[in-house]
Structure 1
Amino acid sequence: NIVTAILCAWNTKACIKRGQKIKEQANHRNVTHLKVSVVVERLLRQETVSKFNEIASDDLTIMDNFKETTSATPSPKEKVPRQCLGRYPLQYTWCLYFLDGTCQSLAWEERLDKVAAVNSLEQFGVLAYGYLMFSSLKIGTDFYFFKQGILPRWDHEQNRNGGRWIIPMENRQRLMDSLWMRLLMSAVGNWYGDLSKDICGFVVNIRRRRSKLCVWTRNGSDEEKTVQIGHAIKRNLEVDLSFTYEMHEDCEMNKPMDQKVKYTV
């Protein structure tokens, strides 16, 4: 089944070694001062990854924007043909973004960094083992995990009529790490069934006092379906917390906090 497939991908020795390498070197390089994608890209170019490439040479799609940050090019010997393993395609292609919220002098588009796109469980296994713990990131940074073709912006056509379920994470840093990974697993594992088509993406906001996880949906005025999604999130995360739903347009208008809450589960 889907969970077994994820575990198989995760338990691949190359994935484990690669994920540990990313975590260790990201911490060593002080990733708070580098784009996450740059760290991942540099590690991908190292000789130590060649063994991983034997398993998944095309399993992590690194974006073209890396070419602007480094002039290094992989040597031909690093391009090892992928071995024949079972491939488990995802229902959707998901894109991971990183936003450095501390550089307010830059435009939003310049601060948003598209890290990778995944469309198989093998790719997700790589990303899961290589993801960075939030304790190593600056206050004010965000991660977005969105369906391909949907930008994490309120004014995007797929988000314009939607909103977000908010899972409060004040002073729950370790819990937030595990819940974020569980949200990603629920996305790639299609734990939401038919409700998945109404989910746009998942967000984690790192803040000093009001860190939170969010799930963006595309039609907040559909109360029945939106509330069903809220209950599904709660069931998948297995937490005893109160979730609230806000429309994007209400957030954009800077309404008072108590006036923005549309639904609660």
Structure 2
Amino acid sequence: MNNKFDALKDDDSGDHDQNEENNTQKDGEKEKNDREKPQSSTKRKAVVPGPAEHPLQYNYTFWYSRRTPGRPTSSQSYEQNIKQIGTFASVEQFWRFYSHMVRPGDLTGHSDFHLFKEGIKPMWEDDANKNGGKWIIRLRKGLASRCWENLILAMLGEQFMVGEEICGAVVSVRFQEDIISIWNKTASDQATTARIRDTLRRVLNLPPNTIMEYKTHTDSIKYVWWELYHNLVSSCAAGSV
């Protein structure tokens, strides 16, 4: 899976490969033309609910990423690797995306789906995320698809009842286990994080003994930098022998 479309199921029309080949040159020309246009004319068209559709309280964007396991990722390489699938503003638009997406349980390798409010990148460093954190639940294999669907439907349906605190959710497919998490803006707000935890336990119907971990994004960033530093030192030491 090398791009965002690998996370989507094949369409019955079978036109994807032909269209992609025919449009490669056009896309290159369009990108060049877009760069030459005034900035005001290159703004992305706003996503709005269609006629008679049921609007969501917020617009959301699906993202997809995949990376080589065991290789530390800097924020720059992570941002380059993450691909935007699309943005939706209504219940109907959500289902049009979701019905064509591969379920987490059918993904292979080291893959992630992200669903975040429009304008928020699924990165610790994003302004909406930098002071926040996430609740993490590790799942045994076979549960990710059901838990992911229950989680994102609860998020879209505003079941967490914490105002604008929710930023988004992630499902991470790994070899031995799968991980789901929900991100919020303010890690220091213990009452809010507790409410998110309790709602998460309810919407996922988790057993009472389920381990739930809250991790601040600040701690996550520190860990990644330590891992990068450790690997750099190890590489230098190996090269000097």
Whole-Å separation in 2 of the counterparts to 1:203 and 1:191: 17
Match in the other structure for 2:149: 181
- Specify the alignment match of 1:136 in structure 2: 106
Q: 1:227 aligns with which of 194, 198, 208?
A: 194
Give the TM-score normalised by the residue count of structure 1.
Answer: 0.64
1:37–1:114 Cα contact (<8 Å) kept: no
Taking the aligned partners of 1:102 and 1:70, their CA distance within structure 2 comes to 27
Deviations 1:26-79 (A, max 9, x none): xxxxxxx342426749849867xxxxxxxxxxxxxxxxxx89974589xxxxxx
2: CA distance between counterparts of 1:68 and 1:110? 25
Match of 2:191, SS?
helix
1:87-142 CA-partner distances (Å, limit 9, x unpaired): 10000111000001129699222211100111100011212322212343232111
Q: Letter of the aligned partner of 1:254 in structure 2?
A: Y
| Contact 2:187–2:216 (Cα < 8 Å) also in 1 | yes
Amino acid at match of 2:106: S
SS at match of 1:224: helix
Letter in 1 for 2:90: S
1:214 lines up with 2:177 in the alignment: no
Secondary structure of residue in 2 paired with 1:174: coil
Aligned counterpart, 2:65: 99
Aligned position for 2:34: none
Partner of 1:109: 79
C-alpha distance in 1 between matches for 2:129 and 2:11: 34
Asked if structure 2 preserves the Cα contact closer than 8 Å seen for 1:101 and 1:142, the reply is no
- Indicate conservation of the 8 Å contact 2:9/2:102, yes or no: no
Question: Aligned pairs, how many?
Answer: 194
Q: Which runs of 5+ in 2 are unaligned?
A: 28-49, 227-241
Residues 162/123 of structure 1: CA separation in 2 closer, same or farther (3 Å cut): same
Q: What stretches of structure 1 of length at least 5 have no aligned partner?
A: 1-32, 48-65, 74-83, 257-265
CA distance in 2, matches of 1:203, 1:179: 11
Q: Distance in 2 between matches of 1:208 and 1:229?
A: 28
Partner of 2:219: 250
The 1:173–1:163 alpha-carbon spacing in structure 2 relative to 1, beyond 3 Å, is same
Counterparts of 1:231 and 1:94 in 2: how far apart (Å)?
23
RMSD: 3.3
Separation in 1, partners of 2:124, 2:23:
28
Q: Specify which of 63, 68, 87 is matched with residue 53 of structure 2.
A: 87
Residue identity opposite 1:91 in structure 2? Q
Distance in 1, matches of 2:94 and 2:220, equals 32
Q: 1:45 to 1:178 in 2, by over 3 A?
A: same
What is the identity percentage for the equivalent residue pairs of Structure 1 and Structure 2?
25
Larger relative helix fraction: 1
> CA separation of 1:213/1:39 partners in 2, compared to 1, >3 Å: closer, same or farther?
closer
Contact 2:7 2:101 in 1 (8 A): no
Query: 1:237 Cα shift?
Result: 1.2
In structure 2, the CA distance between the partners of 1:225 and 1:69, relative to structure 1 (3 Å rule), is: farther
